[in-house]
Amino acid sequence: MDLTRLTAVRLVEGYRKGEFSPVEVTRAVLERAERVQPAVNAFVRLDVDTALEQARASEARWRRGEPAGVVDGVPVTVKDILLMRGGPTLKGSKTVSAEGRWDEDAPSVARLREQGAVFLGKTTTPEFGWKGVTDSPLSGVTRNPYDLSRTAGGSSGGAAAAVAVGAGPLALGTDGGGSVRIPAAFCGVFGLKPTYGRVPLYPASAFGTLAHVGPLARDAADAALMLDVISRPDARDWSALGPVSGSFMDALGGGVRGLRVAYSASLGGQVAVQPGVGSVVRRAVEALAGLGAYVSEADPDFADPVDAFHVLWFSGAARVTQRLGARERSLLDPGLREIRGVGARVSALEYLAAVDVRMDLGRRMGAFHERYDVLVTPSVPVTAFEAGVEVPRGVRGMGYRRWTGWTPFTYPFNMTQQPAASVPVGVDGEGLPVGLQVVAARHRDDVVLRVGHALYEAGVAEGCRPVDPAAH
């Protein structure tokens, strides 16, 4: 049995039955992580000794029949944007000092720790999570396990790559404009951006209420298991939602029969989608209809809000780098340095005008979801492209300069704060993963997870292959 291939749900079942132990599993995934790290670069830090110590404590609890929680002994990775006590959180930046006490967990990390998770280490991110690919001046380039010449996506690229290669079944990521869903699509894993506030966040993001915390996992059931843990309240986040009634795991069943599904292939012709992506997504949508969903081709009523998003995002980039002096700014990723300059010139009235666009977009999507339970689109209109660049050559040729040019399906739903997931539904002609995005009304994370789970149960969604980039 290859322990690196098992889901978190299966690992917990195995611990309960005594089939294998948390120590055996942790050793296997650490060996896997160390083997692929030189090729993929998914980690900024592997905490081998600490992970094994946590695994031994978990093993003792399971032997006593007293697990600490539903993820006791499950290996987890944490994106290096989120605080995890015991080591620095450098956020992909040479401007962040490693010195300090580093004795506090982010809320999601704290909840996992309380439940007995085993922390393998921190995963890579672009500097301050600013773009949709993962490379940074501090950590270098993170590569796609399916093709090492291509990007893993971002900004939670290390998290997605770690899950894809079998270096832990669960990963914590963040998503301010697609940063969970983009790498999930590129790496062939499941990624969920929950409703804003569903997972408490502390410290607050400089990008404000665009930034969500969410799971990347081997399948929808694993994401639901993780969300049951990380959605628990934390007083440090004043904007967090109240406690969930019931369990996301319990809500997975029931299938999609009778669900009202709107399928938008291109947001009303606004998005140019690669044919290989479009055909794979359409087959998956047809499968939803075959499972009993009422599928209609329908586009949400909004124009591309990219200009308003840029005002909000670039202002956040200016804020996160505000205290840096001239020497420190010279160390920044050149793209980040450019957009922070733009953001620093945004006026209060321009910012509030962007907020108006955001509020209108939320109103339009609220009305849309009175007619449809979910919206389905491609997660990203392209598959993974050349590593180390912000924009693929084909899109750059269309006049786009920023990562938002090739992510028009993702960032609108950060503006509306809706739950959205990327589900791996196949590969294109080059063998590169394709993601299908499922979007539901605010607070209906359960519906997003149920649709994803139904696609896995039907064999439409594909669990990530444990590829071995180290062998390439």
| pLDDT at res. 471 | 65
Residues annotated catalytic, as ranges: 79, 155, 179
Angle, helices 348-371/306-320, rounded to nearest 10 degrees: 130
441 HSE (CA, 13 A, CB side): 12
Q: Is the pLDDT of residue 399 over 60?
A: no
Using a 10 angstrom Cβ sphere, with 0-12 exposed, 13-18 middle and 19 or more buried, the burial of residue 356 is: exposed
Distance of CA 176 to the CA centre of its chain: 10
| pLDDT at res. 463 | 72
Angle, helices 157-165/22-40, rounded to nearest 10 degrees: 120
| pLDDT at res. 397 | 45
User: Distance (Å, rounded) from C-alpha 119 to C-alpha 26?
Assistant: 9
DSSP tag of 386: B
Closest CA to 201 of 222, 170, 178, 173: 173
| pLDDT at res. 468 | 76
What residue has token string 């599993």?
A: 25
Element (H, E) at 296: strand 294-297
User: Distance (Å, rounded) from C-alpha 235 to C-alpha 334?
Assistant: 37
412-462 pLDDT, tens digit per residue, is 999 999 999 999 999 999 999 999 999 999 999 999 999 999 999 999 998
The chain-wide mean pLDDT, for the chain, equals: 96
Kindly indicate the confidence band of residue 464, based on its pLDDT and cuts at 50, 70 and 90: low
Q: Which residues face 438 on adjacent strands? A: 376, 421
Helix boundaries (H) for 41-85: 48-64
User: 389, 425 in Cβ contact below 8 A?
Assistant: no
Helix boundaries (H) for 244-292: 275-290
pTM for the full predicted model: 0.97
Sequence-ordered list of residues with C-beta below 8 angstroms from that of 17, at least 6 positions apart, any chain: none
Q: Is the pLDDT of residue 465 over 80?
A: no
318-364 pLDDT, tens digit per residue, is 999 999 999 999 999 999 999 999 999 999 999 999 999 999 999 99
Q: Which residue has the higher pLDDT, 464 or 116?
A: 116
Q: Is the pLDDT of residue 106 over 80?
A: yes
User: Distance (Å, rounded) from C-alpha 446 to C-alpha 267?
Assistant: 24
Amino acid code (one letter) for 214:
G
Longest CA span, the chain = 62
The whole-number average pLDDT for the span 390-401 is 71
Angle, helices 220-230/8-17, rounded to nearest 10 degrees: 80
- The two structure tokens encoding residue 352: 């509030």
User: Distance (Å, rounded) from C-alpha 11 to C-alpha 25?
Assistant: 8
User: Distance (Å, rounded) from C-alpha 444 to C-alpha 419?
Assistant: 7
Element (H, E) at 45: strand 43-46
- The two structure tokens encoding residue 2: 């290859």
Entry field: residues in the chain: 472
| pLDDT at res. 289 | 98
25-53 pLDDT, tens digit per residue, is 999 999 999 999 999 999 999 999 999 99
Element (H, E) at 140: strand 140-141
Query: What are 335-338's contacts with CB under 8 Å, separation 24+?
Result: 335/130, 335/131, 335/390, 335/402, 336/126, 336/127, 336/128, 336/130, 336/131
User: Distance (Å, rounded) from C-alpha 143 to C-alpha 466?
Assistant: 15
Strands 118-123 and 75-79 come out as parallel
User: Distance (Å, rounded) from C-alpha 82 to C-alpha 61?
Assistant: 27
Q: Is the pLDDT of residue 97 over 60?
A: yes
Q: Which residues face 144 on adjacent strands? A: 147
Determine what percent of the chain is predicted with pLDDT higher than 70: 97
User: Distance (Å, rounded) from C-alpha 384 to C-alpha 103?
Assistant: 37
Using a 10 angstrom Cβ sphere, with 0-12 exposed, 13-18 middle and 19 or more buried, the burial of residue 459 is: exposed
Phi, psi of 202 (to 5 degrees): -155, 140
Cβ neighbour number for residue 1 with a 10 Å cutoff: 10
The whole-number average pLDDT for the span 154-177 is 98
Homologous superfamily (CATH) of 3-306+347-471 is: Amidase signature (AS) domain (3.90.1300.10)
173-215 pLDDT, tens digit per residue, is 999 999 999 999 999 999 999 999 999 999 999 999 999 999 9
The whole-number average pLDDT for the span 207-228 is 98
